Every structure is written in C-alpha cells, then in structure tokens.
Amino acid sequence: MHLRVSSSSGNLLGLLPYPADVKIQDEHNGPGALTFTYPRNAPGAGLLSGDDPRISVVVNGAEQPGRYLLEDDGDDPADDAGDARSIQVGCRGALALLERAIIYPAGHIAGHEVQGLDAHFPFVNATPGAIIATLLQRAQERGALPEVTWDFASDVDSAGQPWPATYTVQYDSGGDLLKTVQSITGAGWADVRMDGYRLRAYVPDTACAVDHPDVVLYLGRDVLKGPRQRSRRQVRSHLLAAGDGGNLAEVVNPTAAARYGRREAFDGHGGVTDSATLAELARVTLGGMAAAAEGFTIELDPQAGSGGAGTRYAAGHYIRYDQRRTSPTELEPLRVRTIATTYDDSGQPTCSLELNDLFVEQRIRMQRRLDALTNGSATASRTPLPPLGDRNDTVAPNRPDAVLLGSWAYLDRDGQQHAALAVSWPEVTRNADGTVYDDAGAYLVSYLLPGLAAAGRDAQWSPEQTVNGTIAHYDQLPAGQRVQARVRTVDASGNSSAWQLSDEMVLASDTTPPPVPSKPVVTSLIGALRAVWDGRGAAGEDMPADFAEVEVHASTAAGFVPSAATVVDRLAGAAAAPITGLIYDTTYYVKLVARDRAGNASQPSAEVSAVPTFVIRSDLADQIVGTAQLADATIIGAKIALATIQDAHIGTVSASKLTVGKLNADITVAARIKTADQGARVELNSGGIEAWNANGVKTVSVSAATGQVKLVGGLSSGLTGQRIEINPESGLPEIRFYPTRGNNYAFINAVGYDDKALLGMNSGKFPLNGKDAAFRLYLTDDIASLETIRSDTQDSWGPALWLDAQDSARLSYVVGNTFHSYVTAWSSGVGLGRRNDDGSYSALWLDNPALQYAGTFPNYWYQEPDRGLATGNVQANNWASFSLGYGPTMNSDMVPIVTFRDSGAVRAWQVTSSSRTGFTVGLASSSSGGSIGFWAYRI
C-alpha cells in the first residue's frame, strides 16, 4: 500500500511510496482520520509541505474512494536520525472541509456588508436536506468550498427517498458547517457521508444503516480483544422540567430510584406551555437516563481475516457480536460507529471496531421521540455574537477565578533532570460588568522563576503564550526551583482582564533513587583493605543514565547505618577503592551506597567484612632476640611489625631473593621483574613488558625500543555503556561497537581461508518482517553485497544490493530467499522484475538488440494521466459505434490501435475520433456481439 498526493483541484502531485505507522479511521457521520509517519529524506516528502495537499490511499493497486485533508505535520530537527527522521502527519476526511465555512446571517448577500444584520439563520418547517443544501449554497456564493458537491435536495435524499420530517430551527452566525451538520446527524435527523468531495445525505437508518445479520463476530475466533465499556454517569431517577409561563413538571423513574437512589436532573423546554405536554417530554427525557450506557471496542484477529470490515460492512452498518444478546438465542444488532485500520510495515491490516450502539443510539432515539412530541421544533439560538474585532466593545472580561499549577520531573536522553509545568484555570464566563462573556478570544499565560536572577537583575516573567483552551504546558524547566504563573483573559476585540496570579510552588524533582549497588568484593592488605565494585546493581542491572557515584562506607560496627562520617571513598563506576589507616586485629564492615545527579541515595548494598593483614606482632620485647638466636631465614615477612626496621638499622642489603607484601620506593632499578617463572605471568625487562597465559603462549608484548604493541585475546575500551570491544570472545576476528545502553551492537568481522580475505560489516539488530534483522556489507573476492539479513539465520530478509565482480549488479527485495522485486544489470543488458501474488513473475529486460516483456498489461481502468501505454479488452453487443474513456484526461494526445473480434462475421472498422480522454470506433455495419481489444500509446 502507498499514498497519493493531489492538489485541491484533483491534479496528481506525486506519490508517497514509503509510509509507516499508517492508521485509517472511518467514522459514521464524522470526517474520520488518516495518520502516518514518513521519512524526511524519502521520495515525495517535499509534497507534505504544500499549502493544501490532499491524500488518497492505494491498496493492492486500487485507489480507495476516501480523500483526506493534510492538516498537521511536524518533526524534530534535534532527532538523532537527522535527514532520515520521521515526519508525523495527521489528516482528516473530506467531510472536514465543511469546517472551512461558517454560517452568515440569513439576510447577508455575498460581497455586501454584514453590519446591522440579524446574526441568525432561521429555518421554518425545513427538511434536513433543505437546511444543509441552503447553507452549502450560501457558502459557495461567497467563494468557499469550491470543490464540494452534493446530490440530495430539499424533498429527497441522495438515494431518492423523501425526507420524512421537517424541522423549525435557528442557528447563530459564526458556527461552522461541520458542527452544524453533525448537530443534525447527532439529533437523528439525517445520516451523511462523503464520496470523494461529494456530500451525500440520507434519511436516517436507511442507506447508512444496512443490517448484516449474517456477520457475527465471535470472541476467540474473530475477536482478539473486546473490552466492554459501561457508564453510570448519566443515570437519573428524578427530573424537574420547566416550560414557559412558570410551568413546571416533576417525573420519577421508580426503578432507577430503587437501584441507584435519588439522582436529580433538570431539563428546560422553552415555548412549551401545556403541562401535559411538558410532563410527557420529561418522561421521554428521563427514560433515556434510567440505566447505565454500554458499548464495546473490539480488536479483530488479522489471522481470521478482517471480518469483512470495509468490504462486507462499513461504518454505520449493523452487525452482531456474540457477547451482546437480547436473549439466550437472540444477538442484538450493534451499529459500527468507527472502523480503525492499522497497516504494519509489510502492508498487512489490523482492524478494530467501536460498537457504540448503546452510548450514541440511545440518545438519538430519545431525540426523535422529543421531536415527534414538539412537531420537529428546535432551537440552536443564543445571545448573538458581536462582530469579531468590534472596537466599540470596551468591556473587559473577568480574569480567571484561580490559577492552578502541577509539575512532574523527567530525565532527558543524557540523564539530565528537568521539570515540566502544567498551568490550568477555570473558563471565564462573565465580563467585568457581570454580562455574559461570549466574545471569547484567548488567554495569555506566562511563568516566573523567582529564585533565578540573572546579571544582577530580578527574575523575569517568561514571554506570554497565547492559549485557546484552559491549560498550558512548559518543559525543560529547572527541577526543584520555585515557580509562579499568571493568566489573563483577552476577548476578540482586544480587551484584557487583569492578571490572575497562582500561588508559588516548587517544581518537581527526581525522587527515584538508583538501584541498590551489588555487593563489593573486599580483600585484605597489610594494614589496609581493598573494596572492588563491578559497576552494577544488586540484580546485575546497569546503573541509570543519571547515576553520579557510589559511596564506599566502612565501620567497625556490624550492621552500621551509612552516614557522612562513614564515607571513605567515592567511585564513578566499576573500580577499586583502597581503605587505609586501619587498626590491626580489628574487623571492618564495608557497604556501598549509590547516588544520582539529583542526590537521591539508594539503600545500602549487602555488608562485607574483612580484617587488615599483620606484618609482626608486638609480643617480643626489644633486643630479646639477638643474632645468636636467629638462624638464617628464620624471620619471615609476616613476623616484622610495621615500621620497626628503619633506615638507621639498614646498611647494604644483598639478597638473591626478596619476598614482600608491599614495597615502597622512590626508584627501583632491576634487570627483570616478573610475577612467576612458569605458567601465567607478567614480566618487565629491558625489552619491554610481556605476558603469558597458563599454556605458555605470549599474549601481550610491548616493545620498549619501538613502542609496538601485540595482543592475543580481547580488548575493550570499557565495561559498560558506549565502547569498542576487539575479539570479545572466541570465533571470527571481530570488532564490536556498543551504544550508550543495552546489549545491541554493530560489528566488523573478517574471514580468511587459503589466500582469500573476506570482510563483513554489520549493523545492530532491528525488527523487520516479524524477525530480528540487520544490515550487512559483505566483501569477498568475487561478490560485494549490501543486504538486509535475518540475524539468526543470515538469510536475506529485505532490500539488498549485490555486485558480481565478473558479470552483474542487482538491486532486489528478498524475504526468506524469495525474490519479490529486482533490477539487474549485466554486460549484455538490464532487467526489471517483480514476483506477483500468484507466484509468477512480471519482467522487462533489454537484451541486445531487443526489448522483451513477460507478464500482463493492466486494464484501462487503472489508467493514470502520465501513463505512456493504455491497454484493455471490452465486450460489446448490438453496436455500430463504440466510445471508450481512459478515465483521467491524459497529459498528451493518445494514438489508439484497435482490434475487433466479431462472433458472426468480419466487418470493416476504424477509429473515427480520438482525444486525451478516450476514442470512438465505428463499424461499417452493426455487429450483434464481440469484443474490442486495444492499446493506445501517448505521443
């Protein structure tokens, strides 16, 4: 599926071949919607910036009848995807065109003044067709809605059915036609829909309410999800109704009162003076408020088919659902209010339905009963609006009664903390002099951060934001700062109220601490301890983006509570912390506490204990042991107390072997220093630094002379987060590139055998066609390929480009090793082809010196104005002349070539006329039947 973009006049502007996240919503008596995303650097993206583009949807080569107005589009220039970032597009159906025209006073003539006219448009005993057609005709006389047509009239609907009722109604100037038409459909006077740009209106519950008793959706077969919605909000048991002349009536629904208790409501009926009529109106109104309303929104299983949505039934039609019955054997007809169709990346649709019969239809049925009692009289009147921008209006509106603040904290992608602010206020309904405020303009809003003064100046109010509703949002604010907001009202004539100030509040801060750190590994040193942390949480998780540091706490008390007094070191990540200055023969307890950039502290880690190592105990008095009592090598390192042998006691030390736990020296000069003679070891010698593994294989070599470094095994630039790893595990030689978080990675690997050297470059994984996929650039001695592959099997799984060093180049789309489309160039020609739905292939190739084609030509009804070739075959009976239209008007003249096959006899024929829109063929004598085959090329 793809999208077509046209101008408002219907001319094709171009295609959008690569839409994503496509969702189409068909709405009964509503405009519906189309939303999708589109890459900014994809073909046709520039069309989305036009002034008034229109969108249509093409599925399996067939253009759908709906037309959508492109109203909203936007993207984020800061998106990491750069030019490939997605444009978010929002469209509404063609019925939304009616929003572009408003109601003018009934006495207004196009091109004339409106000053002094009664700001109403009344209708007396008019059908819904007359009301809508009159308002459309008036709008087009003013130049609005030029593309809209309609096929109903004052006396009959679009299907030729007479309108059954008339209505007396009055509308205010300024209301748009979409809201007016929807008020008519909402009252149950008519049903409407758009075919292209043609508005069609029908007697309610006729053409738009087709019943499909054979369509039954079953939970577990057709329906994946079917949540039921029930609302008791409108339930009332007692209704007080008021008419004219002080006429009042109270009606009661005993069943609702017994079930829900007393719930009261009021209803006014201006113009009703008869008490019996008023009581009956009240009973009808209360009857629609006696029970909870109920409806369903169901998601259809795409594996079971769409259930016929959009083909067998449409929005407004009635179907059945096995979860809604009027009796154990009777299924209740439910109206399909909306059909939402979502297309995945492969173009497969998923449908959901809103079966809202009980929510909406109940209100419509009640309105019809009220209309019957009041002979179709209605009113949409209210106090007339003053002309917009009337400078004679000098009455300022009231300021809002209050300004309320709400705030929440969040982290950006770099882990920095920010606060968002919501400012809200109640709607203003009165002017400063107490009159009704009905010339609404907007509200002006700004905020102040009192604690953030700059350059010696007091803090400044933010620029004023214009808001049409009653809530404003701000983000990227500093967390934890004081804030105050103000709002004032501005009417359509520019009169403004005083500012209404909010109370001060403190913007929200991050209060979520980081995870509990993993348990440290603590080892004993001489008079010290060493605490090692692996940089992770207690459950092995990564630290969050706003992680700041881990505090290392130590104490001689088991189960101690970490505090500022017990902090001995701080670590910014996985590392080791030395803990020195400790007392021998004392047990120390170590814990870790993680903190984030907001200062939130985690719970302490698990506690680990250790005892510092001794050198010599003090239970030998000075000079008790002399040289005569000591044999060679009888004093070992573990028996010498810290600092008991000093410079004054030592002359020259000569030893073939010196073993110590810790050696402090300004300079150590030696020919060779090594950790062992055999096995795994490290050695520092005059040649450089070298290391061997347990098998005696040299794994590290750093040359002191040249600086050359050789490594056998893996190398990593870090343990977590963004990093490069070389040869991280056994297998092919490989370099991995990790992002800032997660385990996804891109990599380069090399394959070599005999004298061949092959190279692969692979992206990280991403979902495609229901599998984990990746992009791979693969370079060999005879083929280079850039392709999309399945990560698990390495099979081609999407678009691919192959270069054969000997013969050809191919651009193709492959899924599961099946070619779906391709372009191939080789030394003797070029080919273009695709796999059809039935498994066959259509192909076009240039093979010196011929042009060859395998496949079929489309019939003429798929024609577009820019096609160079039109083909077709048409049956005809009892004809002497035949005319055929191409459909669109072609961009240039066509030359038709026609073949006639007559079942009776061969007759002479010729093309008697030809134009950009079609051609005519005439026979020398009439034919009883046959077929006409033709093709026409554009010149």
| CA-to-CA separations, 29 to 148, 184, 191, 869, in angstroms, rounded | 17, 10, 6, 40
The stretches in the chain having pLDDT less than 70 are 229, 244-245, 269-274, 276-277, 280-281, 293-295, 303-311, 356-393, 412-415, 440, 453-457, 615-671, 729-732, 752-754, 806, 816-817, 848, 860-862, 902-906
**Sign of the C-alpha dihedral computed for residues 364, 366, 368 and 371 taken in this order:** negative
Pairing status of strand 608-610 against strand 588-596: antiparallel
| pLDDT at residue number 565 | 92
| pLDDT at residue number 634 | 53
The pTM of the full predicted model, rounded to 2 decimals, is 0.42
Enumerate residues 6+ apart whose C-beta is below 8 A from 839.
Answer: none
| pLDDT at residue number 557 | 94
| pLDDT at residue number 848 | 67
DSSP-H helix ranges across 78-152:
128-141
Contact assessment for residue 422 and residue 388, using Cβ atoms and an 8 Å cutoff: no
| Residue-wise pLDDT tens digits, 287-302 | 777 777 666 777 887 7
Bond preceding residue 520 cis, omega within 30 of 0: no
| pLDDT at residue number 652 | 55
| pLDDT at residue number 483 | 92
DSSP string, 713-767: S-EES-SSSSEEEES-SSSS-EEEEE-SSSS--EEEEEEEETTEEEEEEE---EE
| pLDDT at residue number 536 | 93
Contact assessment for residue 553 and residue 604, using Cβ atoms and an 8 Å cutoff: yes
Q: How far apart are CA 692 and CA 649, in angstroms?
A: 39
Q: How far apart are CA 564 and CA 558, in angstroms?
A: 17
DSSP string, 521-571: EEEEEBTEEEEEE-SBBTTSPBPPTTEEEEEEEEESSTTPPP-GGGEEEEE
DSSP H/E element including 49: none
Q: Which residues pair with 199 in a beta bridge?
A: 150, 194
Residue 347: φ, ψ to 5° = 85, 10
According to DSSP, residue 219 is labeled B
Contact assessment for residue 59 and residue 343, using Cβ atoms and an 8 Å cutoff: no
Residue 827: φ, ψ to 5° = -60, -25
| Residue-wise pLDDT tens digits, 12-62 | 898 998 899 999 999 888 899 999 999 999 888 999 988 899 999 988 878
Enumerate residues 6+ apart whose C-beta is below 8 A from 103.
Answer: 121, 135, 171, 172, 173, 174, 175, 176, 177, 180
| pLDDT at residue number 566 | 94
| pLDDT at residue number 527 | 82
| pLDDT at residue number 474 | 84
